[in-house]
Structure 1
Amino acid sequence: MADRILVLNTGSSSIKYELVDPRTRERPARGLVERIGEKQGRLTHRSGDGPPYVRDRPFPGHDEGLEAMMEAFAAAGPEPTPVAVGHRVVHGGVRFAEAVLIDDEVIAAIEELAPLAPLHNPVNLTGIRLARKMFPEVPQVAVFDTAFHRTLPPEAYTYAVPREWRERLGVRRFGFHGTSCAYVSRRAAAFLGRDPQEVNLIVLHLGNGASATAIEGGRSVDTSMGMTPLEGLVMGTRSGDADPALAGYLARAGGLDAQQVEHALSHQGGLLALTGSSDMREVRDRDDDEARLALEIYTRRIRKYVGAYHALLGRVDAIVFTGGVGENDAATRAACLAGLGRLGITVDPASNQAESAGERAVSLPGAEVPVLVIPTDEEWEIARQTLARLPSTGRS
């Protein structure tokens, strides 16, 4: 029987799921329950290559969403019968350096970390608790976005802030998008015909959330996201880097409290703040000064990180684009690397514009620093790490 893993990515108003065989990469089923808690929700379930099974109805909570997922499996197939359930968990703090089997102690630890990821860890826990009830005899595994960045050296993860903040409150850089970085860094090394431990990469994960990561010999040594996913690049609704004094100024001048400032920077910043839209496709389609300025701010920030990480690594074997924008937006890829020719980094216009959904180089053959597009596959990576953690099977 195939070792099928049910991968659950539980968000604040959605449940993304996929049934994956990590050995063969077969995907018997995948689906999305969206707009949970709203007046009208939607479930879209795909089984194999058949037509989608769609149901439009309210899903008051995540429990109803997971029940709808099971109804979809029953109606459209296949029988899920997973050997394990793998859960994406955003923040693992300093405790979790790898995927772990979930027990009550692990759940308590994830809950304790909720203040570091208040928008993510609580809903990740909701998915875990519901799945444990739904599959009581099936092992559950937590796979952490932060785990890949546990190799950051102290000079990368330490903020120059009071000692009490660092030691008592745990203030430090953690980094995110680690599951994606783990996957694409291995695939990039394979594309180059090299061992991951021999390769230095700059990974640009560009989606609604966006990050840059410097990888040296397969290990994360610096990354743009910080204690939370707010720091770093300009994103769909997140500001990225901003003066830390901003909160104090807005409190004095605007009467805003810390929670209001944090919410605005996370949900009303980024492309949304600059253009009124958080969707890069909509911004790219516009031809006005506001959109052009937003695109220059977005790509300029990325160029700054690429230059800094090039200096940090000393030798860069490839620049890797991934994520929804990184994989599909040729114009953004070109703009992110414009003017970096002196560093050996150039994009070939013809290769970059060519339509393809696969792994590919968008630089000229023999380029000093190849520029690659590697589609991410976080679900398969979660399934792979989940399978490796299963007990008494010889897999771990």
Structure 2
Amino acid sequence: RVLVLNSGSSSVKYQLLDMNPDSGGGPAAGTRLAVGLVERIGEDTSRLAHTPLATGGDKRETEGPIADHEAALKAVAAELAADGLGLDSPELAAIGHRVVHGGLKFTAPTVIDDAVLAEIERLVPVAPLHNPANITGIRTARALRPDLPQVAVFDTAFHTTMPEYAARYAIDVATADAHRIRRYGFHGTSHAYVSRKTAELLGKDPSEVNVIVLHLGNGASASAVAGGRCVDTSMGLTPLEGLVMGTRSGDIDPAVTFHLKRVAGMSEDDVDVLLNKKSGLVGLCGDNDMREIRRRIDEGDERAELAFDIYIHRLKKYIGAYTAVLGRVDAVAFTAGVGENAAPVRAAALAGLEEMGLAVDADLNAVRSGEPRLISPEYARVAAAVIPTDEELEIAQQAYALVSA
């Protein structure tokens, strides 16, 4: 079994998965035994929601103050123990941690020791919103089970295969190297999983397939994957670069920041908040929920329609750019909350790209399913696919493969 932890600044998402079932007709490898979420950590209104899938029990929810991440993980451990799945179980092989930023040092899942933890801490300046929370989760889990392998799986690792010409910014090399300024990319566990699953859907080995992966959630990123290796991705030094997102601007002229400081008198923190939390779809139309935006469009809301058009325009630019980067594209894969559920986004993103071999079958696109599926007509030269992502399973698989080896 592998317990997967995704620690945020005030939350802990977790899943317990069975990765090595017996051969006597037991569950398939990767079966979820329990899932849950602790949110609003540090507040009086903390909430823990736990679903014991192994026993088929109902979701259990508790509310009340949970002081910190240590208290949160102890509460999680108690819930698992109540289902006979406690952290003291000899069947627990590892705890897998999602870590957002691994820099250039961590290119694969890594067993955490003091030196590894120190290096993750050293990367905090390039991931100030994410790595501190990941570190807190790691420290807490190590204290609870110091004898158990703790494995870090990095969002950036999949993108470390990018060639230097794709990863480098065109700024002074000495300055860039001194401050570790380069394009790292994020959502790597999702891009790795989805690109591999796309190849499976096409009945091919990942080494034979070139895929453009569009991870479209509140955070959004694109990647160009050639033969199973990332060769380019839209996010850069931080998750701000690239596509239009729920609250992030994506690509923007860097001089906008200087202009806002000089003309509007905005501080660095003001600009940071603007570009990360008050931009993207919410900045354009006041909503970052694609369902609400589509509802407003249907009612004739021009601001919502413009926001949608800007979102789609940026998507098309990246599809075109990555087609050029790859040379040959076998599939475009949509994933994450918007990519998996918003049929109008998929249709609009590929509309007019028939000369590039892309097309959408309206009936296939309208189907709602939790399974990987094609949404392109048979005649399309490039497959269009919807691949539900599973970052927790990817983390569990990588962690288990490492410790079992």
Asked whether 1:377 is paired with 2:390, we answer: yes
Which of residues 27, 35, 54 in structure 2 aligns to 1:30?
A: 35
Corresponding residue of 2:5: 8
Instruction: Answer whether contact 2:2 2:18 (CA < 8 A) is retained.
Output: yes
- Percent of aligned pairs with the same residue? 54
CA contact (8 A) 2:78 2:86 kept: no
Q: Is the partner of 1:303 in helix, strand or coil?
A: helix
Query: In the alignment, is residue 294 of structure 1 matched against residue 307 of structure 2?
Result: yes
Deviations along 1:193-244, one digit per CA (max 9) or x if unpaired, are 1111111000000011100100111110010000111100011111101110
RMSD over aligned Cα atoms: 1.2
Choose the corresponding residue for 1:95, options 81, 99, 105: 105
- 1:17 to 2:18 alignment: no
Using the TM superposition, name which of 100-109 and 34-43 deviates more. 34-43
What is the aligned partner in structure 1 of residue 260 from structure 2? 250
1:173 counterpart letter in structure 2: R
Residues 1:174 and 2:184 aligned together = yes
**Per-residue deviation, 1:135:** 1.2
What's the CA shift for 1:84? 0.6
* Structure 1 segment 33-48 matched on structure 2, within 5 A: 33-48=38-53
Paired residue secondary structure (2:288): coil
Among 70, 79, 85, the residue aligned to 2:86: 79
In structure 1, the partner of 2:294 is: 284
Is 1:113 matched with 2:123? yes
Q: Contact 2:360–2:377 (CA<8 Å) still a contact in 1?
A: yes
Partner of 2:150: 140
TM-score, normalised relative to structure 1: 0.96
CA contact (8 A) 1:21 1:383 kept: no
Residue segments in structure 2 that go unaligned for 5+ positions in a row: 21-28
Following the alignment from structure 1 to structure 2, what is the Cα–Cα distance between the partners of residues 61 and 263?
25
> How many Å separate the matches in 1 of 2:379 and 2:145?
51
The reply to whether residue 54 of structure 1 matches residue 67 of structure 2 is no
SS at match of 2:360: coil
Instruction: Point out the more displaced range, 274-283 or 216-225.
Output: 274-283
CA distance in 1, matches of 2:336, 2:152: 22
Deviation at 1:38, TM superposition (A): 3.2
Partner of 2:200: 190
Cα pair distance change 1:41/1:116, threshold 3 Å: same
How many residue pairs end up in the alignment? 389
* One-letter code aligned to 2:387: I
Q: CA deviation at 1:388?
A: 1.8
Distance apart, 1:76 and its partner CA: 4.3
For normalisation by structure 2, the TM-score amounts to 0.94
**Could you tell me whether the CA contact under 8 Å between 1:153 and 1:221 is conserved in 2?**
yes
Residue of structure 2 in register with 1:215 after alignment: 225
The match for 2:375 among 362, 374, 395 is 362
Distance apart, 1:366 and its partner CA:
4.0
Aligned to 1:31, what secondary structure does the other structure show? strand
Deviations 1:313-350 (A, max 9, x none): 11100000110111111111111111111101111100
SS of residue paired to 1:292: helix
Letter in 2 for 1:11: G
Q: How much does 1:136 deviate?
A: 1.5
Alignment of structure 1 residues 300-339 onto 2, 5 Å: 300-339=313-352
* Range with greater deviation from structure 2 (272-281 or 304-313): 272-281
How far apart are 1:77 and its partner, in Å? 4.6
2:356 to 304, 322, 343: 343
Q: Distance in 2 between matches of 1:113 and 1:79?
A: 32
